[in-house]
Amino acid sequence: MSKKLLYLLTLICSFSLFTACSDDDDEKKEEVDNSWEQVVGDYSGDKLAFSYGETTLTGKEVKFSATSGANGSLLLKNVIPGENETTISNITVTKGEFSGTATTTNANVEYTGSVKDEVMTLKLAVVMNDPNGWAKKYNLADYTNGELEYNGYTNPNAVIAGAGYVNYVCVTSSSDYGTSYGAMFRGLFGILLPQVLNSITLGTDGTITAEYVKGKGITFDPSWIFQSPTKEVVEPLFPTSGWLEAPRHLAYWFHKDGKLYTKLDLGNIIGEVMGSNAEGMSSIINSVLTSEPAQLKQMLAGLLGLSEIPVSDETIALLQNWTINGIPMNVKTENGHTYLYLDKAALDPIMKMRDGSSDLLNLWNMLSTAGIIPPDAAMAGMLLNSISGNWDATEAFDLGLDLQ
């Protein structure tokens, strides 16, 4: 082979090699995925298709931020129970889609998301932290009569257990209020609640659901306030069929500092009632709940057509806190019963006396005057008056549910 021919072949091969390298470079450039840029943004309203488990929810807000396809961050607002804001980091976006698992303050979360035509589709599967094994279905405790001694008298037919948990310890120089009134309240709860409620379920995903009956009238004899009937009289009043399951995602639970917090989702509740007309209500609700107590009372008085709301700012602030952050419930398990209740310290602002009355009594009287509380039940205000009047002598006041 001549030198000229060899040079020619070498030149041809060199051109082929450079061309191949150029093609490879072009391919690599084409493989760069910048789809994360279309995912970045704020999503709410019709720009967000959001589902929690198998349920589609509206009124939620999320935000996705990133500076590359490998460092995405998802901000969830009031989505995970007990977390006003939840940030999930280190998300990788591929072709406009992302998925993974994360551990948040209160839960383990599996997420799948994508963005198309500026609409984010986001699906979450949530499992709450449950160190005490609270997530399960509970039935109301059985209505049970038995002997109780108080005020030098033995009541052979007192209500010692039922749907309501009442642990009331208050002994004055004239009466054992705690034992006698505790039996009365257990009787009231034990008769009324099972006529409308069958069970409560704390879901592993943080939802609270219930089985209830709709359209059935409640039977109650006012004389039962002071003399509870026997089990044989009461049990036929309780439905045994026809139970309906309440919609999911109207209430949530989460574990914090050894307590079980329960929280209503007002946005979802209003959405359930108003449907599509509820769009944008979340921001209005938040504005109302974060207003000053005095301002909130003025707003409520105007809505109800009243001159004032006879409740202290301290109680209004407490109720605002419970609504925003959840109600801190104590949980106690004994002999197959699970007691879910508020204690005296939690109820103190509502029950203690101020200028000769308590906030609860003032509220009760206001509702009675407005006709919201039926006349047959209005006499229960006498019990509330005695409880508030002896609040300083009260050693324990635990009030809640008795579940099995």
**Residue 350 within any structural domain of the chain:** yes
For residues 122 and 151, state if they share a domain: no
For residues 122 and 160, state if they share a domain: no
Q: Say which range, 129-133, 213-217, 229-233, 343-347, has the weakest mean pLDDT.
A: 213-217
For the segment 304-317, the average pLDDT, to the nearest whole number, is: 86
For residues 87 and 114, state if they share a domain: yes
For residues 177 and 286, state if they share a domain: yes
**Residue 24 within any structural domain of the chain:** no
pLDDT at 82 over 80: yes
For residues 354 and 303, state if they share a domain: yes
Dihedral sign computed on CA atoms, order 312, 316, 317, 321:
positive
Task: Give the tokens for residue 335.
Answer: 């002999």
For residues 73 and 212, state if they share a domain: no
Of 194, 183, 197, 241, give the one whose Cα is nearest residue 220. 194
Q: Say which range, 9-13, 118-122, 263-267, has the weakest mean pLDDT.
A: 9-13
Residue 51 structural domain: 36-128
For residues 367 and 232, state if they share a domain: yes
Q: Which of 128, 146, 167 is the last residue of a domain?
A: 128
For residues 113 and 213, state if they share a domain: no
**Residue 329 within any structural domain of the chain:** yes
How would DSSP label each residue in 113-178?
EEEETTEEEEEEEEEE--TT---SEEEBPPPEEEEEEETTEEEEEEEEESSEEEEEEEB-SS-BHH
Q: Which of 64, 99, 128 is the last residue of a domain?
A: 128
For the segment 366-375, the average pLDDT, to the nearest whole number, is: 76
pTM, two decimal places: 0.86
Q: Which of 96, 128, 160 is the last residue of a domain?
A: 128
For residues 359 and 265, state if they share a domain: yes
Residue with more model confidence, 369 or 263: 263
pLDDT tens for 63-74 read 999 999 999 999
**Residue 366 within any structural domain of the chain:** yes
**Residue 10 within any structural domain of the chain:** no
For residues 150 and 188, state if they share a domain: yes
**Residue 6 within any structural domain of the chain:** no
Total number of domains constituting the chain: 2
**Residue 7 within any structural domain of the chain:** no
For residues 195 and 318, state if they share a domain: yes
**Residue 5 within any structural domain of the chain:** no
